[in-house]
């Protein structure tokens, strides 16, 4: 709609509002936010039965809409093809294909609701579908609850003109680590459809299981789809514990066709991923002759990266081309994902076949061999009219000519690809890995690690600043990745993706100027009600209270609290007790001038929401001293600000909380000079440990205590935490008795293990240590 016209209508509406009986426009909670919405005062109350009117070519979309009503409500919505008959008897939903404003483009739509019915217009079929999704989101949540009587329908007087910001809007699902039923895959696709995603990236092969039937190679599923048992918990280090249960499953080609068809009806393209050359242990277990060494191999029973990968000899390419020939018969997708990530080169370095290949092809090293491998597969797929997508490692050793890069190790891969004129899809671990925690790990089910809150996902910007406008056109969109090592059930998968996939949907669909976090927070509450009605499992991580501390000039702290839930009531305590109903209710910021252990939780309708937050503050004698630190800590944590060591705020069990300082692969020296000598009984050092996140305890500490008359040397080892804690995040608090003296300064030396130990999956790479508070 023309902007001036919009303003005229808006002013007219307000004028009308001012002169007539006061009537508020109804609010709507559409996610992703449509790019242009005009809501007029008034309400359309639907007293007649609904009916869909459309031309035959919209039959697919019409049936979808009618089926949604049939499945979730007790309302039957008939479809009338062609001219509407008996007009007065129905409230009609018109689906008009090919009649919209040119500006809506390939996937956009217009939607208008008035007394004369509901009109959805689009140039192409996906647009009609997206219009339908926006319409469905205007129905009250109770409408989708099959157990409650259907409420009378009412709609706002609304006009929407909408089209997506990005052409690639993806969600991924790993079925290699854990397998999910056909009916759940369909449910997942339904969730994608609600949020206007158009690509489902289906990760079908892994070290821990091959999940797609390939007729020519029956052992891939007979052998490769079953693992003998599965690691319990996080793994950490040996001895590993296993569940002793065989685990397996795969999708038959018939099931795959059914799923592709189901997705196609929802305008979702399914991109299969066949991992190569790495993450291929399950295939090697089935066909050991495809490896560099003899084997035998076992389908992996624990997580990580494995050294046995496909060899680069000719018979491997024959195998892969035969597999891909069946894959492209099943998946009409333009893109086929070929993996390419995390392929250790150790076997290739020692394999005569691979070394021969390097020599014959004039390759520099094993990275160029990987590039050769990918390019050869690309050539095959291009010859069949398909394009490859690969994880960003496919940049190493030279990018295949037509490849699209999926940037996961940060955004660098996407930036490099775009600068080389290649398309890229953004899926950085920092914002798009939905296997990360979304709230305090203390209160969440086990996850791989990380911390990616709803707000963080919402604020993701897929176009990096490093790209100029021409290069930026190569960023096709963003994708949420769901790796399922720690998701054994479909309920857990839902929990990890909801509501974060709603936030990412708005990143992909809505132009930046139309996004608004506060508005989204309000809308997501309505979606929670819908999840309840649909029986979807979702995280209430956004209920978590953020406790903010702000230092004052006289050394005290202002404490303020907020949550991602608008107008939430927050209960808190200052003595470390669990806040219940009888404790204080937060009503604005307050000051603390003595040591406290704050605990806070959201109350909703008088019930605590179960996600506890904590922040301890200690008023100790080194508080406020700024230590000299060598080397400087990583800027990635707390901005590398060394005053964090002595600010009185204790680091929590999330080392990204802004209170921990991290050092990678180095010993650390910390010097604290007191302006006036102090008397102190103890010093305390705090360290963080999380092996899955490459964070280790230091080996030892040394403290030089400089008194007014003499200097004392103290030292000790830091034993690892007890066995039961090693797989989880843990904090070690080391209390050190000090000599009776007036202390002028403390010089603390912390000895780092520097490298991850042999048993760790990062063996030989830099180990992190995290310290706070001193």
**Interaction site with ligand ACM (CB under 6 A):** 341-342, 391, 408
Phi-psi category of residue 743: left, alpha or beta, with phi > 0 → left and psi -120 to 50 → alpha: beta
Q: Which of 57, 228, 353, 412 binds Zn ion (CB under 5 A)?
A: 353
Residue 563: partners with Cβ closer than 8 Å, 6 or more residues away: 542, 543, 544, 545, 546, 570, 602
**Which one of Zn ion, ligand ACM, none is in contact with 466 (Cβ closer than 5 to 8 A by kind)?**
none
Judged by CB under 5 A, the stretch of 306-314, 485-493, 659-667, 725-733 that binds Zn ion is: 306-314
Among 54, 65, 263, 354, binds Zn ion (CB under 5 A): 354
Nearer to ligand ACM, 129 or 408 (CB): 408
CB 713 within 8 A of CB 704: yes
Q: Which does 391 bind (CB under 5 to 8 A by kind): Zn ion, ligand ACM, none?
A: ligand ACM
Handedness of CA 229, 231, 237, 241 (dihedral sign): negative
**How far from the centroid of its chain's Cα atoms is residue 544's Cα?**
18
Among 351, 507, 570, 600, binds Zn ion (CB under 5 A): 351
CB of 206 to Zn ion, least distance (A): 21
Nearer to Zn ion, 360 or 708 (CB): 360
Instruction: Select from 343, 208, 349 the least CA-distant residue to 276.
Output: 343
Find out whether 200 and 170 touch, Cβ atoms under 8 Å.
yes
Q: CB of 284: closest distance to Zn ion in angstroms?
A: 11
Judged by CB, which is closer to ligand ACM: 203, or 691? 203
Decide whether 369 or 504 has the Cβ nearer to Zn ion: 369
Least separation in angstroms between residue 350's CB and Zn ion is: 9
Nearer to ligand ACM, 32 or 450 (CB): 450
Window 179-198: residues binding Zn ion (CB under 5 A): none
Q: Where are the alpha helices (DSSP H) in 305-453?
A: 314-330, 346-349, 352-360, 366-383, 412-419, 429-432
Question: 171 in helix, strand or coil?
Answer: strand
With binding defined as CB under 5 A, does residue 101 bind Zn ion? no
In 648-757, beta strands by DSSP E? 661-664, 668-679, 682-689, 700-707, 711-717, 730-737, 742-751
Residue 311 binding Zn ion, by CB under 5 A: yes
HEC profile for 656-675? CCCCCEEEECCCEEEEEEEE
* Contact status: 491 vs Zn ion (CB under 5 A): no
Looking at beta carbons only, is 482 or 603 nearer to ligand ACM?
Answer: 482
Residue 395 CB, nearest approach to Zn ion (Å): 22
Measured between alpha carbons, how far is 680 from 525 in angstroms, rounded to an integer?
A: 51
Structural contact between residues 694 and 755, judged by C-beta atoms closer than 8 angstroms: no
Angle between helix axes 490-497 and 182-194 (nearest 10 degrees) is 10
Length of the chain: 774
Q: Quick one: what does residue 667 bind among ligand ACM, Zn ion, none, with the CB cut-off 5 to 8 Å set by partner type?
A: none
CA 389, CA 410: separation in Å to the nearest integer? 17
- Closest residue to ligand ACM, based on beta-carbon distance: 341
State the minimum distance, in angstroms, from the CB of residue 347 to Zn ion: 6
d(CA 572, CA 579): 5
Q: Which is nearer to Zn ion, 190 or 353 (CB)?
A: 353
The one of ligand ACM, Zn ion, none whose footprint includes residue 292, by CB under 5 to 8 A per kind, is Zn ion
Q: Taking the complex as a whole, how short is the minimal distance between the CB of residue 217 and Zn ion, in angstroms? A: 19
Interaction partner, residue 342 (ligand ACM, Zn ion, none; CB < 5-8 Å by kind): ligand ACM
Query: What's the closest the beta carbon of residue 245 comes to ligand ACM, in angstroms?
Result: 26
Mark 275-294 with x for binding to Zn ion (rule: CB under 5 A) and - for no binding: -----------------x--
Reference 298, options 226, 348, 361; nearest CA is: 226
Which DSSP state fits 386? -
Residue 354 touches which of Zn ion, ligand ACM, none (Cβ within 5-8 Å per kind): Zn ion
Measure the CA–CA gap between 295 and 289, rounded to whole angstroms.
8
* Nearest-approach distance from CB 346 to ligand ACM, in angstroms: 18
| Least distance in angstroms from the C-beta of 483 to ligand ACM | 6
CB closer to Zn ion, 354 vs 672: 354
Q: Which does residue 396 touch among Zn ion, ligand ACM, none (CB within 5 to 8 A, set by kind)?
A: none
Question: What is the binding site for Zn ion (CB under 5 A)?
Answer: 292, 311, 351, 353-354
């Amino acid at each position: 709609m023309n902007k001036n016209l919009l303003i005229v209508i808006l002013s007219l509406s307000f004028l009308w509002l001012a002169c007539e009986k006061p009537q508020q426009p109804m609010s709507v909670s559409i996610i992703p936010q449509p790019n242009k919405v005009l809501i007029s005062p008034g309400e359309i109350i639907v007293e007649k039965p609904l009916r869909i009117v459309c031309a035959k070519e919209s039959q697919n979309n019409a049936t979808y809409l009618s089926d949604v009503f049939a499945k979730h409500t007790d309302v039957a919505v008939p479809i009338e093809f062609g001219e509407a008959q008996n007009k007065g008897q129905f409230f009609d939903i018109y689906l008009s294909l090919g009649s919209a404003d040119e500006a809506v483009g390939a996937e956009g739509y217009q939607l208008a609701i008035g007394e004369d019915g509901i009109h959805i217009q689009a140039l192409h079929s996906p647009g009609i579908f997206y219009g339908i999704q926006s319409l469905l989101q205007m129905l009250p949540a109770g409408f989708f609850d099959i157990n409650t009587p259907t409420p009378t329908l009412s709609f706002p007087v609304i006009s929407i003109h909408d089209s997506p910001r990005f052409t690639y809007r993806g969600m991924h699902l790993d079925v290699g680590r854990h397998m999910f039923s056909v009916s759940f895959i369909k449910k997942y696709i339904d969730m994608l459809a609600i949020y206007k995603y158009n690509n489902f990236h289906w990760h079908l092969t892994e070290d821990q299981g091959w999940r797609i039937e390939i007729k020519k190679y029956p052992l891939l599923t007979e052998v490769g789809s079953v693992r003998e048992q599965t690691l319990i918990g996080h793994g950490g280090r040996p001895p590993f514990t296993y569940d002793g249960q065989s685990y397996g499953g795969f999708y038959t080609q018939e099931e795959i066709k059914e799923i592709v068809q189901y997705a196609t009806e929802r305008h979702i393209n399914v991109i299969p991923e066949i991992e190569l050359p790495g993450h291929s242990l399950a295939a090697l277990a089935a066909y050991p002759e495809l490896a560099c060494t003899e084997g035998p191999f076992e389908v992996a029973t624990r997580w990580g990266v494995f050294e046995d990968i496909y060899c680069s000899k000719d018979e491997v390419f024959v195998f892969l081309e035969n597999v891909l020939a069946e894959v492209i018969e099943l998946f009409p997708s333009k893109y086929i994902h070929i993996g390419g990530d995390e392929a250790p080169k150790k076997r290739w370095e020692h394999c005569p076949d691979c070394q021969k290949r390097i020599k014959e092809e004039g390759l520099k090293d094993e990275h160029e061999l990987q590039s050769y491998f990918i390019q050869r597969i690309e050539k095959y797929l291009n010859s069949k009219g398909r394009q490859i997508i690969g994880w960003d490692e496919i940049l190493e050793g030279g990018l295949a000519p037509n490849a699209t890069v999926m940037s996961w190790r940060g955004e660098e891969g996407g930036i490099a690809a775009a600068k080389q004129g290649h398309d890229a899809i953004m899926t950085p671990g920092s914002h798009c890995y939905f296997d990360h925690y979304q709230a305090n790990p203390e209160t969440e089910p086990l996850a791989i690690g990380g911390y990616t809150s709803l707000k963080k996902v919402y604020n993701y910007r897929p176009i990096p600043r490093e790209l100029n406008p021409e290069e930026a056109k190569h960023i096709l969109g963003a994708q949420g990745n769901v790796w399922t090592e720690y998701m054994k059930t479909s309920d857990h998968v839902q929990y990890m993706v909801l509501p974060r996939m709603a936030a990412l949907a708005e990143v992909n669909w809505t132009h930046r100027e139309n996004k608004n976090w506060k508005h989204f927070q309000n809308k997501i509450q309505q979606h929670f009600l819908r999840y309840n009605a649909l029986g979807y499992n979702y995280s209430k991580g956004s209920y978590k209270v953020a406790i903010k501390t702000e230092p004052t000039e006289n050394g005290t702290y202002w404490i303020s609290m907020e949550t991602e839930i608008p107008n939430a009531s927050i209960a808190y305590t200052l003595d470390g007790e669990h806040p219940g109903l009888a404790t204080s209710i937060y009503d604005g910021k307050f000051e603390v001038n003595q040591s406290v252990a704050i605990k806070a939780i959201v109350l909703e309708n008088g019930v605590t929401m179960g996600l506890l937050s904590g922040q301890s503050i200690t008023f100790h004698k080194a508080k406020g001293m700024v230590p000299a630190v060598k080397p400087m800590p990583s800027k990635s944590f707390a901005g590398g600000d060394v005053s964090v060591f002595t600010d009185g705020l204790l680091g929590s069990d999330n080392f990204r909380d802004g209170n921990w300082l991290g050092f990678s692969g180095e010993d650390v020296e910390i010097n604290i000079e007191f302006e006036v000598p102090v008397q102190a009984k103890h010093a305390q050092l705090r360290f963080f440990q999380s092996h899955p996140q490459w964070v280790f305890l230091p080996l030892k500490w040394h403290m030089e205590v400089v008194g007014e008359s003499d200097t004392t040397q103290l030292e000790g080892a830091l034993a690892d935490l007890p066995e039961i804690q090693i797989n989880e995040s843990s904090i070690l608090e080391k209390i050190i008795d000090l000599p009776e003296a007036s202390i002028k300064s403390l010089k603390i030396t912390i000895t780092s293990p520097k490298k991850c130990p042999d048993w760790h999956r990062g063996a030989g790479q830099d180990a992190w240590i995290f310290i706070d508070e001193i």
